[in-house]
Amino acid sequence: MDASATNFQSLPVPRDSQGFVKSFTLSSCDCPEAREARAFFDQFGFVVVANVFTPEQCANTISDIWDIIESYVGEPVRNDETLWSHKLWRSTGIPEEGIIGGASLWTRQILLNRQTPALHAAFAAMLGTENLLVNQDRYGMSRPAQEHPERTTMTNLHLDMNPWSHIEGLLCSLFRNSG
């Protein structure tokens, strides 16, 4: 094995004056700050875009998440953390991964979120194209775990969609229809 593979050193990530990871505010996918955000993404493998959702969109999304959770558990739990037991939370989806639901969610708010122009601009800036493939998925919710270690979520990457399989299917379809 290559010695460099066993001696991984993470890069120090730039932070703001409050100690949070540096974030970027994009006015469009080709604004000057978008190029700076893309350079950050290329260097660190992630980027924080600050202005994707308005405060109202955030409040509506939080309410939507709680509405879904309460529909799964069958009782109001959003204002009583003592009810957030693993036994109750098990009915919300995959609590070990913080995933809500067993299949894609189709609420009005989740659909509006996927169509937000600022979200499109952020992904377009990072991926270098405005032609994006979007999937529909679920929400994530991690319960506070500092005082309840049994609530800790797994540290893994969870993908429900393999974009290459969709592209492969699309290409096959295009070639079938062009001949």
Mean pLDDT over the full length of the chain: 86
Count of CB atoms situated within 10 Å of the CB of 102: 11
- Work out the average pLDDT over 83-103: 88
pLDDT for position 94: 87
Question: Which tens digits make up the pLDDT trace of 7-37?
Answer: 777 889 999 999 999 999 998 888 999 999 9
Is residue 140 packed enough to be buried (19+ CB in 10 Å), middle (13-18) or exposed (0-12)? middle
In this structure, are strands 99-100 and 93-94 parallel, antiparallel, or unpaired?
Answer: antiparallel
What is the longest distance spanned by two Cα atoms in the chain?
63
Q: How far apart are CA 142 and CA 179, in angstroms?
A: 50
| Global confidence as pTM | 0.76
Say what angle helices 117-127 and 32-44 make with each other, to 10 degrees: 60
Show the tokens assigned to 97. 């991964």
Percent of the chain with pLDDT over 90: 54
Q: What is the pLDDT of residues 65-77, one digit of tens each?
A: 999 999 999 999 9
pLDDT score at 139: 92
**Do the beta carbons of residue 144 and residue 95 sit within 8 Å?**
no
Q: Cβ of 107: how many Cβ atoms within 10 Å? A: 14
Which pLDDT band holds residue 162 (cuts at 50, 70, 90)? low
Q: Residues 118, 26: contact at Cβ < 8 Å?
A: yes
Angle (CA) 25-27-32 rounded to 5° is: 80
Which of 127, 109, 117, 110 has its CA nearest to residue 163? Answer: 127
Q: What is the pLDDT of residues 117-152, one digit of tens each?
A: 999 999 999 999 999 988 778 898 888 888 888 888
Q: Is the pLDDT of residue 179 over 60?
A: no
pLDDT (0 to 100) of residue 10: 80
Beta pairing partners, 15? 21
Higher pLDDT, 46 or 159: 46
Cα-atom radius of gyration of the chain, to the nearest Å? 20
